[in-house]
Amino acid sequence: MTATAAEPAVDARGLVKVFERGRRTFWQRLRGEPDRRERFHAVDGIDLRVERGEIFGLLGPNGAGKTTTMKMLATLLIPTSGTISVLGIDVLARPRDVRARLGAMLSGERSLYWKLTARENLEYFAALYHVPPRQTRARIDDALTSVKLLDRADDYVERYSTGMRQRLALARALLPDPPLVILDEPTVGLDPQAARDLRARVRELRSQGRTVLLTTHYMEEADQLCDRVAIIDHGRIVALDTPGALKRTIRAEEVVRLEIGLADDGAAVLERLGRSATVARSERHNGTLAVTAHCASARDFVPAAFDAARSAGATIQHVEVVPVTLEDVFISLTGRALRE
Ligand SMILES: Nc1ncnc2c1ncn2[C@@H]1O[C@H](COP(=O)(O)OP(=O)(O)OP(=O)(O)O)[C@@H](O)[C@H]1O
Ligand SMILES: [Mg+2]
């Protein structure tokens, strides 16, 4: 019955979630009209194995299916098809046992009671989550210590900053003392300092021996925080590895960003640039063309780019050699930027 340490924290296979677009009205239902709504795959065949003790990130743009995947893992949504086992327990067969072992902070359910203190909030949620009464006090203190709010436990939540509220929401997820913590966009809406602080708390969860599965659409966050990252797009995993290995899949060693002033549509200059680098992305804005090029050597490519621009009647206004990021990996896999 109990999970052994050998079992992965999460093992999902062939995960699919189909939704209908639009709505079917009461009258359509009453008249028994056929359901003509378009069905689409929000999650389209995901296989995911998260090992114990790692911080695993799902990175992808808006609408990629990250939250839907997390909700299925957290027993909050039933998959259309596929299997999920969490800590060796079948999620569909034993959802209660899974819920008792995971702490989830999902978007849309971060509400805390502002007129209560942090401790009162956690007492309320501890009762709701069936934390044994004898353990409640210790669990709350542990959870507050984990998020560095113990000294502010008796302050009203309405006097908390956004970052503190987010940390308290994380403390709430830690109340069951879960071996697995699921965080959906944990730093969204936080200022850089508060986001850094929350990431430090997440790293501490790993050092306490917990497994963390999180989603993000911030590539820097995935890069800095996660041991492994799955890049997800249109409900599918398009790449999965350590951040370092993902960045090494970009064959080019350097990424050069150019801003080119144009008199025409830019086709000529792009064609010429393409002879000495891979143009990963180009975007026109008024008379300027922003180009991201992947090349073997910026020292060779940059002069070639100036020649290309000159012979196409364009001018390079700005050149920047930048390190490869997970954004570049995403662009090379999908042809789009993460934040489009
Ligand atoms: N209950 C639902 N009914 C119908 N469509 C849904 C439902 N929930 C999500 N969707 C759709 O499924 C797709 C995936 O949504 P999801 O929330 O999983 O994306 P996400 O990767 O979390 O995006 P974001 O970065 O914006 O949070 C979207 O097109 C969304 O509109
Ligand atoms: Mg989401």
Quote the ligand 1 centre to 121 CA distance (angstroms). 29
Q: Work out which ligand 1 atom sits closest to the CA atom of 70.
A: 18
Name the residue among 3, 159, 166, 26 with its Cα closest to residue 91: 3
Q: How far is 95 from 132, CA to CA, in rounded Å?
A: 19
Could you tell which of 20, 67, 187 is best to mutate to test the pocket of ligand 1, judged by most ligand atoms within 8 Å of the CB?
Answer: 67
Token pair for residue 125?
Answer: 């949620």
Ligand nearest to the CA of 73: 1
- Tokens 């999180």, residue located: 214
Q: Work out which ligand 1 atom sits closest to the CA atom of 61.
A: 25
Name the residue among 121, 218, 109, 229 with its Cα closest to residue 168: 121
248-292 tens-digit pLDDT: 887 667 889 999 998 888 899 999 999 989 898 899 988 899 999
What's the average model confidence in pLDDT over 105-131? 86
Helix 192-207 and helix 162-174: axis angle, to 10°?
20
Q: Report CA 150 to chain centroid distance, whole Å.
A: 28
- According to CATH, what is the number of the domain 251-323? 3.30.70.1710
Ligand nearest to the CA of 184: 2
Sequence-separated contacts (24+) of 151-158 with Cβ below 8 Å: 152/118, 153/117, 153/118, 153/119, 154/117, 154/118, 154/119, 155/117, 155/118, 156/114, 156/115, 156/116, 156/117, 157/112, 157/113, 157/114, 157/115, 157/116, 157/117, 157/118, 157/121, 158/114, 158/115
164-179 tens-digit pLDDT: 998 999 999 999 899 9
Given this model, what pLDDT does residue 261 score? Answer: 93
Q: How far is 215 from 56, CA to CA, in rounded Å?
A: 9
Could you tell which of 16, 19, 38 is best to mutate to test the pocket of ligand 1, judged by most ligand atoms within 8 Å of the CB?
Answer: 19
Residues of the chain with pLDDT > 70, as a percent, come to 96
Q: What number of other Cβ atoms are within 10 A of residue 31's Cβ?
A: 8
Q: Is the CB of 60 under 6 A from ligand 1?
A: yes
Pick the CATH number of 10-247 from 3.90.660.20, 3.30.70.870, 3.30.70.3270, 3.40.50.300: 3.40.50.300
Token pair for residue 264?
Answer: 């025409």
Cβ proximity of 99 and 75 under 8 Å: yes
Q: Work out which ligand 1 atom sits closest to the CA atom of 69.
A: 18
pLDDT at position 94 over 90? yes
The torsion angles phi and psi of 338, rounded to 5 degrees, stand at -65, -40
Residues of the chain with pLDDT > 90, as a percent, come to 63
Q: Is the CB of 19 under 6 A from ligand 1?
A: yes
Q: Work out which ligand 1 atom sits closest to the CA atom of 67.
A: 22
Q: How far is 71 from 9, CA to CA, in rounded Å?
A: 16
Which one is predicted more confidently, 323 or 224? 224
Could you tell which of 15, 35, 62, 68 is best to mutate to test the pocket of ligand 1, judged by most ligand atoms within 8 Å of the CB?
Answer: 68
Domain ranges of the chain: 10-247, 251-323
Report residue 37's pLDDT band, with 50, 70 and 90 as the boundaries.
confident
Kindly report the protein residue whose alpha carbon is nearest to atom 8 of ligand 1.
Answer: 68
Ligand nearest to the CA of 43: 1
Ligand nearest to the CA of 18: 1
Report residue 4's pLDDT band, with 50, 70 and 90 as the boundaries.
low
